Chain A
């Protein structure tokens, strides 16, 4: 199962400190895991939410660091792709997978798959036994849709105000965090629904 999906910055942001990442979109799936761990006391909803926020912030920071190191090592120059060149931007994207140790920040070990498209990072946090080939494919599809429908490549990105579109996308392609084995016909059917939503 996928625990969460994030969109965040992977480049330096002026307003933040070095290495800090701004989370632009975050969706956590399923019931709160803190309900099931043996705690001395149960967390209140406020505390649970803060905990969730902090966890996703940690993930974003770690992916930011991994992406920067990976880009530095590869030594490639970041090419600015223009709107309309989403497929190219996706092809050129850096990708990788990070091991999140148990406790850092989730109670169990997790794998964080990430795609870095210019200044944005798209991250899927999965349970470790998950089918990473499928997860990688799903992440690429999600990223492609996000780039296309939210105009993320041009100036004036709409990710912050149009997060409902991402929600609708996720409810089709990653319902409640479930990765789906979709051949091109099933995918086509779902993508038609997504496109219909986006045009509203």
Chain B
């Protein structure tokens, strides 16, 4: 039977589309849900989850009382909820069950209440009424604060000595074995546990979510209320009394610090009382986490509890600012305890969040916190994927606040980028979101250099990790010249620059080419390759952002950097080409936005375009530089432009064009792409149209070109079609230049022609408007 059920489940679950079972089978399975054998419960629940509920189910829904069902049947019911109303009714049933405390139901049903409610709350907090919230708040207080502090009786663990002695109630213990001196928490142990101790675990597990759902919304309290609450909590923090209506017992013996400062909860309404008890619970957990647990799993749990406790404290302090003054000493002490131990890094992040949220109010100096978050963590823990995820998430969520309160944020990119350099695929998404905030006018140039050398950083980090693993004396056998270089003192400075933690010590290094040579063998390492693939994306984001913060002077500098770096990149296959492509598109964009940039950098651009070698090695950029010169080097773009300048530019381009169309390409290089040739020709024509003396020279060249190519193939162009295209273009330009006035208006059009606003033109506007209206009125 079990086998057939398992097979049935497999068949149904393998199918993407849901099936309906025959009603007989459905009924049979339904009855199995309440079978005493758990295996049948599980299997029938699993099978039914894969099928459509029977048609009349919506009526049945309210008839099943979820409280009386076992966990598996309850899960099925939950998954079959078809509407918000169904879910609300489940909530109501669960809470009614809690209220009346039906003792006939199996104990399971009580422990499952909180998880089920919690999962419903994720999407639908409104399904609990105010009364429900109050009821549950009271229950949570009971379970969290007043659970039994004696070990559960239950079945004996079967030791040798059974008898009256073992049945004496034994108090619960801490994780290090000492007897517990305060209320029960998840970090207390015993041989077996009572039901309310189980509920303590479930309550704490659900607590943060509960608080975030119902306590994060500010109920619009006025300052009068806040003052009242502050007064109340301060006056109560010195008293020591217990509430009447809960099951707490006066325990006169060893009482820890937490209970001694507890407030009289009798006076607080349920929500506030829960907040207060949560506060105490968290403080106790923080104390308990200082103990040395015997087992590793418990030590791990202590860490997780610390994270949760700090987060909950943060949450309650958000809601009630008066708690900040009580919480901060505790958090500060915790920070002091953990800050030098990197294995607690993930606990320190929620502490940093607490400092960020409440530090200002408490006038606490947060410098050491940020030194960790932006300093030690990225530089020493860049290879911890979980820390990386959490730290970057912390940055993303608090970006505005950090930019305001942490001045060193924008200078910390050399460190932060280490996460990206180490594991690009995992965190590139986060950096797509974060990078814009790191682009500032002051650091833009250094950032650009850093992004371009990200693969080098990647290689360096790998070397750093390897260096610590391999003993120094061992000769790095398999060609790890880079590792030797990394360890050698003469090159140390280069690597140290890449590994720097902060911006501001220099845009880049002089001996960059040396560094690239040292790292040439790393070009096929997986991390380096992965990193190289994401750099173009980041560059796009960089340039898109920088134009919003940079002035023309900075943009001119960036163009310079682009030209310089186009030949100064780590030699990874396809990397150079990709970067050149990004540079080209943004060079174009920048010059289009600010045509006078061409004038500003005319010297460098001329030098670049006058070097014939660039035609072959950096074709993409070369083409765009030439285009940009031809287009924007004119008086109409910048009044500083002189005839002399136009002439010298013309001569430089003319020389290159002559050279590439009169000889074979250098050994190892392909023929220049047709686009380069035509762009050069067009640029020359444009320049000539602005200084008519130059026209005869161009025309002479173009007619010579026609003659030469009539003889058939040429050494510098392998494809016949391409040659025809080039020659055609040449002829077009030649005929255009025969009428200089026309040439000028075609090749150097005034602004109103190139940026048409057709909708303003009286003649063109009407047809456009009519077409737009037609499109709008014809809805799809």
Contact B425 A171 (CB under 8 A): no
Contact B429 A131 (CB under 8 A): no
One of A9-17, A85-93, A117-125, A155-163 at the interface:
A155-163
Shortest C-beta distance, A167 to chain B (Å), equals 5
Contact across chains for A164 and B193 when beta carbons are under 8 A apart = no
Beta-carbon contact of B83 and A167 below 8 Å: no
CB distance from A193 to the nearest CB of B (A): 9
Beta-carbon contact of A164 and B204 below 8 Å: no
Closest residue of chain B to A72, judged by CB?
B526
Evaluate whether A184 and B18 lie within 8 angstroms (CB atoms) in the complex, with A35-B81, A164-B43, A171-B75 already known: no
**A36 and B124 form a contact (CB under 8 A):** yes
Encoded as 1 (CB less than 8 Å from any A CB) or 0, chain B from 188 to 224 comes to: 1111110000100110111011001000000000000
User: CB distance B79 to A180 under 8 Å?
Assistant: no
B385 within 8 A of A: yes
Does the CB pair A164–B52 fall under 8 Å?
A: no
Whether the Cβ atoms of A181 and B305 lie closer than 8 Å is yes
- With A36-B123, A167-B42 known as contacts, the answer to whether A185 contacts B17 (CB < 8 A) is no
* Inter-subunit contact A50/B16 (CB<8 Å): yes
Residues of A near B430 (CB, < 8 A) are 99
Say whether B301 contacts A182, CB under 8 Å.
yes
With contacts A46-B18, A137-B300, A181-B186 taken as known, whether A98 is within 8 angstroms of B81 at the C-beta atoms is no
Within 8 A of B (CB), among A138-182: 160-164, 167-168, 171, 175-182
Binds A, one of B109-117, B253-261, B732-740: B109-117
Check: B33 CB closer than 8 A to any chain A CB.
no
In the complex, A167 Cα to B202 Cα: how many Å?
19
The secondary structure that dominates the B interface is helix
- Interface pair B123/A45, CB less than 8 Å apart: no
Contacts known (A72-B526, A97-B385); A176 close to B112, Cβ less than 8 A: yes
Residue of A nearest to B81 (CB): A31
- Would A132 and B6 be within 8 Å (CB), given that A31-B78, A182-B301, A183-B189 are in contact? no
Interface check B371, CB cutoff 8 A: no
CB distance from A104 to the nearest CB of B (A): 10
Interface string of B102-121 (1 = CB under 8 A from A): 00000000011011101110
Contact with B along A61-86 (1 / 0, CB 8 A): 00001100110110100000000000
Cα of A111 to Cα of B308 in the assembled complex, Å? 17
Given the known interface contacts A49-B18, A132-B386, the answer about A31 and B6 at a Cβ–Cβ threshold of 8 Å is: no
Q: Is B346 an interface residue (CB 8 A)?
A: yes
Which residue on B lies nearest to A174, using beta carbons? B115
Once the chains bind, are B298 and A178 in contact (CB under 8 Å)?
Answer: no
Nearest-CB residue, chain B, relative to A161:
B6
A95 to B383, CA, bound (A): 12
- B487: CB under 8 A from chain A? no
CA gap between A132 and B393 in the complex, in Å:
12
A161 engages B10 (CB within 8 Å):
yes
Cβ contact within 8 Å between A178 and B206: yes
Q: Are A171 and B71 in contact (CB under 8 A)?
A: yes
B123 CB to closest chain A CB (Å) equals 4
The one of A128, A160, A171, A189 in contact with B72, judged by C-beta atoms closer than 8 angstroms, is A171
Q: In this assembly, does A18 line the interface, its C-beta being within 8 Å of a C-beta of chain B?
A: no
Interface hits, B58-92 → A, CB 8 Å: 71-72, 74-75, 78-79, 81-84, 87
Given contacts A35-B81, A176-B112, contact A167 B303 (CB under 8 A): no
Given contacts A167-B42, A180-B205, A185-B190, contact A29 B9 (CB under 8 A): no
Q: Is the CB of B204 within 8 A of A181?
A: yes
B483: chain A residues within 8 A (beta carbon): none
In the complex, residue of chain A having the shortest beta-carbon distance to the beta carbon of B124: A36
Shortest C-beta distance, B476 to chain A (Å), equals: 15
Inside 8 A of B72's CB, which chain A residues have their CB?
A: 167, 171
Pick from A127, A137, A163: contact of B46, CB below 8 A.
Answer: A163
User: Whole-angstrom distance between the alpha carbons of A133 and B192 in the complex?
Assistant: 26
User: Please, how many angstroms separate the alpha-carbon atoms of A175 and B206 in the complex?
Assistant: 12
- Would A176 and B191 count as touching, CB distance under 8 A? no
Q: Is B9 in contact with A31, judged by CB distance below 8 angstroms?
A: no
Closest to A170 in B: B75
- Tell me the minimal C-beta distance from B186 to chain A in angstroms: 4
Q: CA–CA, A137 to B298, complex, Å?
A: 11
> Is there contact, CB below 8 Å, between A164 and B192?
no
Q: Does A134 sit at the interface, judged by CB under 8 A?
A: yes
How far, in angstroms, from A161 to B46 measured CA to CA in the complex? Answer: 12
A127-B84 Cα distance, complex, nearest whole Å: 21
What is the bound-complex CA distance between A128 and B429, given in angstroms? 15
Number of A-B contacts (CB under 8 A): 199
CB-based contact B78/A53 at 8 Å: no
Residues of A near B208 (CB, < 8 A) are 129, 131
CB distance A177 to B193 under 8 Å? Answer: no
Interface range on chain A: under 10, 10 to 19, 20 to 34, or 35 or more? 35 or more
B19-42 near A? 1/0 per residue, CB < 8 Å = 000000000000000000011001
- Flag whether A1 is at the interface (Cβ < 8 A): yes
| A176 proximity list for chain B (CB < 8 A) | 71, 74-75, 78, 112, 115-116, 118-119
Which A22-59 residues sit within 8 Å CB-CB of chain B? 26, 28-33, 35-36, 42, 45-46, 49-50, 53
Chain A CB within 8 A of B389 CB: yes
A104–B642 Cα distance when bound, in Å, is 56
Residue contact A175 to B115, C-beta cutoff 8 Å: yes
Closest A residue by C-beta to B72:
A171
Cross-interface CB contact of B84 among A36, A97, A160, A186, cutoff 8 Å = A36
Are B307 and A131 interface neighbours, CB within 8 A? yes
A137–B305 Cα distance when bound, in Å, is 12
User: A160 vs B46: C-alpha distance in the bound complex, in angstroms?
Assistant: 13
The answer to whether A30 touches B304 (Cβ under 8 A) is no
Question: B461-492, CB under 8 A of A: which get 1 and which 0?
Answer: 00000000000000000000000000000000
Contact A30 B119 (CB under 8 A): yes
Give complex CA distance A171, B45 in Å: 12
Inter-chain CA distance A180–B9, complex, in Å, is: 28
Say yes or no for B665: interface residue by CB 8 A criterion: no
If A180-B202, A189-B193 touch, whether A30 touches B78 (CB-CB below 8 Å) is: yes
A1 in contact with B118 given A129-B212, A132-B389 (CB within 8 Å): yes
Contact assessment for A183 and B187 in the assembled complex, using a CB-CB cutoff below 8 Å: yes
Judge if B390 is at the interface, Cβ distance under 8 Å.
yes
Contacts of A137 in B (CB 8 A): 297, 300-301, 304
* Closest partner residue, chain B, to A129 (CB atom): B212
**Chain A CB within 10 A, most for which of B118, B175, B208:** B118
Q: Would you give the 0/1 interface string for B42-57, flagging 1 where the beta carbon is closer than 8 Å to chain A?
A: 1101100000110000
Closest chain A residue to B350, Cβ basis: A131
Residues of A within 8 A of B7 (CB): 161
Q: How far is the CB of B416 from chain A (nearest CB, A)?
A: 16
Which residues from A are CB-within-8-Å of B393?
A: 99, 128
Check A187 for interface membership: any CB of B closer than 8 A.
Answer: yes
Q: How far is the CB of B466 from chain A (nearest CB, A)?
A: 11
Judge whether A70 and B426 touch: CB under 8 Å. Answer: yes
- Neighbour of B390 across the interface among A46, A66, A132, CB < 8 A: A132
Q: How far is the CA of A183 from the CA of B184 in the complex (A)?
A: 13
Let me know if B426 and A66 touch, CB within 8 A.
yes
Q: What residues of chain B lie closer than 8 Å to A184, measured between beta carbons?
A: 189, 295, 297-298
Chain B 522-543 interface 0/1 with A at a Cβ cutoff of 8 Å (1 = within): 0000110010000000000000
Give B653 Cβ to nearest chain A Cβ, in Å: 45
Docked Cα-Cα span, A145 to B301, in Å, equals: 18
B contact residues around A36 at 8 Å (CB): 84, 123-124
Contact A186 B79 (CB under 8 A): no
A129 to B52 CA separation, bound complex (whole angstroms) = 33
Known: A137-B300, A167-B42, A167-B46. A95 touches B79 (CB 8 A): no
Lowest 6 CB-CB distances: which A-B pairs, in order?
A30-B119, A178-B115, A36-B123, A176-B115, A134-B304, A181-B186
Identify 9 new A-B residue pairs, CB closer than 8 A, beyond the known A171-B71, A181-B204.
A30-B79, A31-B87, A45-B53, A49-B18, A73-B423, A137-B297, A163-B10, A167-B46, A176-B119
A: residues with CB less than 8 A from B are: 1, 26, 28-33, 35-36, 42, 45-46, 49-50, 53, 65-66, 69-70, 72-73, 75, 95-99, 101, 111, 127-129, 131-134, 136-137, 160-164, 167-168, 171, 175-187, 189, 197, 200
